[in-house]
Amino acid sequence: MDKTIARNLKKLRETARYTQDEVAQALGITRSAYSNYESGDREMPYDVIENASDFFGCDMTMLFEENENVDALILASAFRIEGIAPEDNAEIRRFKDIVKSYLKMEAIEAR
């Protein structure tokens, strides 16, 4: 499971063109801790998985996906603005969370 999360984290990060240091700063962890999560050498705590999904704007379950469809979802989730202030990045994360919640509610209604 850690290798699947690691592979998907790396794809998300590289697709959005972030460095490990930028992601680690956004998640409030050290770069070495993030590097260990991305390589699958350490198990990623639930709260960090949740923060990463918020940061990348994807559903948390996507990080656990092992199929080809995850690549399309990763491309859809990649969003990056160069030179953005940290407080603006936090607002974007909140907006992505609202969109994720809306999509979940839409899926529930469709059932």
How far does CA 68 lie from the centroid of its chain? Answer: 17
Integer angstrom CA distances of residue 61 from 48, 88, 91 = 13, 25, 22
Tell me the CATH number at 76.
1.10.260.40
Has this prediction a pTM greater than 0.75? no
Domain range for 8 is 2-110
Number of domains in the chain: 1
Q: Who has greater pLDDT, 93 or 71?
A: 93
- Between CA 59 and CA 54 the distance in angstroms is 8
Identify residue 49 by its one-letter amino acid code. Answer: I
- On average, the pLDDT of the chain sits at 81
